[in-house]
Structure 1
């Protein structure tokens, strides 16, 4: 079985909603890193010299490759990444090897059994 890593950089108030959407699309788990910072096309706003920043979270999903694109698209749709600038970004990367997911392979085999 082959896997992909989906990395999503999202506003912290949308994390739970995006995790739920990813799970509904087939993700079996997530690692969430709080309090990330980032800057997009437009620089951060300031108010009396103080930076006004929206807190970001980094969501890491190790997913089966046949489910990856659907999960990625679902995250983008629910997070409104393409329709609302600055709301987040998600990407997927190939994983060469992975350990620690043996307990998930049974569940995944049932779901994508015909495709692998």
Structure 2
């Protein structure tokens, strides 16, 4: 089985909804890194010298390659990436090799067959 690494940078208030929808689309879980910070095209607003910015979470998913695009699209929809600038981004990267995923392969076989 081949995998993709999906990396999503989302506002922390949508993390739970993104996780729920990613699971529905075929993700088996994720690693969540809290309190990330980023800056896009538009600089963050300030108030008396303090930056006004929402906290971000970084979600790392190792997803079977046939399910990756569906999961990526669900993340984008739930997080509202296309609704307005600065809502976040998600990317996918090929995974050359992975260990520790053997317990997921049996569960994924049926899901992948449905998708194909």
In which range does the TM-score fall when normalised by the shorter chain? over 0.9
Q: CA RMSD in A?
A: 1.3
Inter-partner Cα distance in structure 2 for 1:114 and 1:18:
22
Inter-partner Cα distance in structure 2 for 1:76 and 1:82:
7
TM-score by length of 2: 0.96
Residue by residue, what CA displacement relative to the aligned partner does 1:12-57 show, whole Å, maximum 9, x if unpaired? 0010000001000000011000000000110011101111121000
How do 1:46-57 and structure 2 match up within 5 A? 46-57=46-57
Name 1:41's counterpart in structure 2: 41
> Which segments of 5 or more consecutive residues in structure 1 lack a partner in the other structure?
none
Name 1:6's counterpart in structure 2: 6
SS in 1 for 2:104: helix
Pick closer, same or farther for the CA change 1:63–1:50 going to 2, 3 Å: same
Pick closer, same or farther for the CA change 1:78–1:114 going to 2, 3 Å: closer
SS in 1 for 2:99: coil
How do 1:53-92 and structure 2 match up within 5 A? 53-92=53-92
Pick closer, same or farther for the CA change 1:115–1:80 going to 2, 3 Å: closer
**Cα offset for 1:115?**
6.7
Give runs of ≥4 in structure 1 deviating > 6 Å.
Answer: none
Pick closer, same or farther for the CA change 1:114–1:45 going to 2, 3 Å: closer
TM-score by length of 1: 0.96
